[in-house]
Structure 1
């Protein structure tokens, strides 16, 4: 009987510890990928729910590329420029930090997932305009969603 009580107590303790560890890991994950000082850090959602973006962002970007380059359609909901504008962070002098650096949004996630990040071999890893212009464009797009800059 005493062994059963101890066993139940250990199982309960394990479940509590597991729940705590999962919650701590989830908090670390959010902190790891949403970089402080970016517009994304101030938002509750991206252009799609977070889990959907994590799972399907490459498909969204590829679809955007096909629509833009091959079909001439410039719907910018999933544009790479919009992603950079929202997820970019700035240093103390308000200079944008390249989004593909290991401690920045794209760089941190791709490093964690051990996936090659070659988008920025061709595409700009910082906004193509000064920070003040990027922030003004974001405000013009509305506070409830991510900025939808041009590009593919």
Structure 2
């Protein structure tokens, strides 16, 4: 049994690679920002894009500490700043919530199979616009 598993491993890895490459190429071709967002017109984020992709959660956690414990809210790593820059606006200038599966945060987190729970409490569009809080957090409903 162990010998069969050892022999099957290279085949399984090759199949996974064949399935993953087209998805990775599509992600690279599509880009890492959503058209119609302010970020789409910028050369880079507050840090180079590769660094933001790898470390954005560390920046967000550090910002949480600075905001909650020190009261500092206006920094380049604020979640509101991310939403302000990366949210897409439709033709009527209505923001599309950033956590929808086809939007900036939602698409990347879906691709990486990572839970996106920031917007259970935080606004997913700038300035408390439409759909700013998840449906489960709306007035009159029980909070988890």
TM over 0.5: yes
Q: Point out which structure has higher relative CO (alpha carbons under 8 A, 6+ apart).
A: 1
> Alpha carbons of 1:124 and 1:103: their partners in 2 closer, same or farther (altered >3 Å)?
same
> Alpha carbons of 1:49 and 1:40: their partners in 2 closer, same or farther (altered >3 Å)?
same
1:70 Cα offset (Å) = 1.0
Deviation >3 Å, runs of 4+: none
User: Structure 1 CA distance, aligned partners of 2:78 and 2:106?
Assistant: 18
Partner residue of 2:105?
106
Partner residue of 1:12?
none
User: Structure 2 CA distance, aligned partners of 1:70 and 1:115?
Assistant: 27
1:39 Cα offset (Å) = 0.6
TM-score with structure 1 setting the length: 0.65
Render the CA deviation track for 1:94-140: whole Å, top value 9, x for unaligned. Answer: 1000000000000000000000000000000000167xxxxxxxxxx
Please say which structure displays the higher CA radius of gyration.
Answer: 1
Whether the 8 Å CA contact 1:33–1:104 is kept in 2: the answer is no
User: Structure 1 CA distance, aligned partners of 2:113 and 2:69?
Assistant: 30
Whether the 8 Å CA contact 1:107–1:117 is kept in 2: the answer is yes
Partner residue of 2:88?
89
